[in-house]
Structure 1
Amino acid sequence: MLVLFSACSKPKQLGNELKDNLEQSQFSIEHGDKIISNRSVFTKLIGEDSLLYYEYTDRAFYIFDLKSRVLNDFLKFEIDGPNSMEEQVLSFDKVGDQYAILSSNYISFSDKNGQILKRKRVNQFLNNMDDPTISKTTSFKVINENQLYLSQSPRAVIAPFKYSEASLTPIFAIYHVNEDSIEHLPIYSPEETLINDETRGFYSSISQHFFILNNNCIVFNFQFSPSIYRYSLKSKQLTQFDGKTTRFPEATEPFPANKYRDPAYLVKHLVQNGTRFSNIEYDAENDIYIRYASKKTFSEELKKSNYELYLQVFDSDFNNIIEQEVLKPGKPEVYLSNGFIYMIGASSAYTEEDATKFTKFDLRQIK
């Protein structure tokens, strides 16, 4: 597969008065009589001003209405039985008159009453951990009622394996729902994932990639790297953009290969240090891309970590045009709706027992 490299050029000016920083403000949405733990690992914007929230403790989906600022019931499943949902949800979307839900091991299709109509096992890792060519499905996007784009993380980018055919394991596929078949796309793990050289280390769970569909292209990036990739579905050409900024000029340090079976080191490496990059979203009105970047460093002298979180905005050529610090800690996932970017509050200082706090960034000043 041919990979083209594109270095950043001089940033393109958007309008007459591009400001260095976007206005940040905070608000809360009360939970009412609903029990919300504020520890969900899955949230997603669905439709305008509607943020889907999965409460794994009771297998229920709720919707935060970001405009009217209320919390509404949405969809509930069972913990066990034929209409059960797994504890971890990875992706969700509407497909026709059904809901498609990706969990740890399955894609499930349900009706609006939480009745499971169909399941497909998609996690190849189960009882098969020694095969470096297997993959785990981590998210999906809906093309139409019969087709879903799947992102897949090969086993060989999560853990160190000696060079093998794993480097030719596709990282995207199309799931044909009616035919119950999967068609792999010719897009493979980039060199920076270290899939071809286990001696340089590995990236474990932060090797997961995020993606969006835009203008007949797949745009994707990885948690560990500033690089942004664009694959043209028409020309079958992959272009890599460095995505570097002054504050985030390089990828995070990989885990040493010889530390693979040292859980104490792995936890310390993950928790105390490292650079992370979030999902990317596209704002069509301003023709810009948006993501978060975070950096954590550990002070041995103070025995504590310092955490910095920034919002990054790129033009259509992936030149960085805005990079500003997020003032209140939040979950680094981009939720974009009606000219605003929303972020769910994080840490005990910015969450409440009976309400969820949000930070809002105003994109309307970009003209």
Structure 2
Amino acid sequence: MAGWNDLPTELKALIVELIDESGTVRDGTTAPSSEERRALLALSGMERALYALTGPMLWETLMLGTRSLACVQAFGGAVSSERCRLVRTVDCRRDRFDFDRTLQAKIAKACVQALKRTPNVKELRLDGPGSVWVKRLPSLPKLMRKVRTLNLKTVMEGNLSAADTSAILGSFDKLVDISLPSSIDDEDQLVLSQLQALESLRKLDLGCPMHSGDELHYPILSQPWSGRLTFLSLSMWIDEPTLRSLLHQIGSTLKSFQYANAMDPSSSAPLLPYNLPVLEHLGLVTAWDGAFELCSAFSNAPLEVMWTSRGDCYYESDLDLLGGVVEQHSSTLEVLEIRLGDGDEELGEALDRLAAKCKDKQVRFNIVNLWT
């Protein structure tokens, strides 16, 4: 009978991949003590071939922000250069409830030292005072030329000014994928203009400024964009004419659009269809009654996947409107996902009608309960 050593390398590679089938070890979302990670670590010590197969999985994402300060500071002397070269993503983000800014700053400085040993990083996820990164990133010129994805999404309010954000963005040569937080201050138009001028930009996740309690009137959003955006996640509650102009600027290449804080349609002009000839994925999040009427503006898009969420709870009229979306996009729509909240227990009949509509049109209907 053939033993493990007799198996071809291709089969061993497949077995190793199956251990992390969900990809949580690769992307760093699994716990350090998880069964998957422990299994891969055990395999890595069995033989040289397995050491080589497991290395990229164990070291693709380096989670520094969740480690102790001492652990991050010791990284340089504890990890071999061979392992460091396998790292593609470095996550320096702290726990969202860690309010110790002095510790954040110390860990950010230690992370910079660790980054000097990881020459092949393509993605950075940063946290801590923006001023630390503004000061330290210029010391990593080779790395800054290679990084393509920058995530500042979870930076706490007060830790990142628009000036800091602008300086950080300016440290990189060719960013393709950018996620920005909901804590940019009143000068955030400076950042928006910088994003518009970035020719390499393809994916943008833009948070909502914390100071905005009303519709934002940002004429700059409707100005031409140099990058050919394929993905846009927008959490800014902007007026409909500005949204329309923005989508007009980027619509020819936009394939995925997620819009949170969708506007109250009663305050907007009648919604004519947007020109989005290649839009395949649409996500809408809103707390406004009747805001799903916005769906009518996407009638010309060849949607394949759509998901929706309410800030409070759905009304039967919302689900009936979504039934109309299924009817309207039946030739292209493959998946409709409804994300339910705590107050959606009484929607049985309306959900049944929507499920029946999806079944009739051969659209997969998913219900996700956000409170379970």
* Structure that is richer in helix per residue: 2
TM-score (norm 1): 0.29
Instruction: Mark the structure with the bigger radius of gyration.
Output: 2
* Structure that is richer in strand per residue: 1
TM-score (norm 2): 0.28
Bigger RCO (CA 8 Å, 6+ sep) = 1
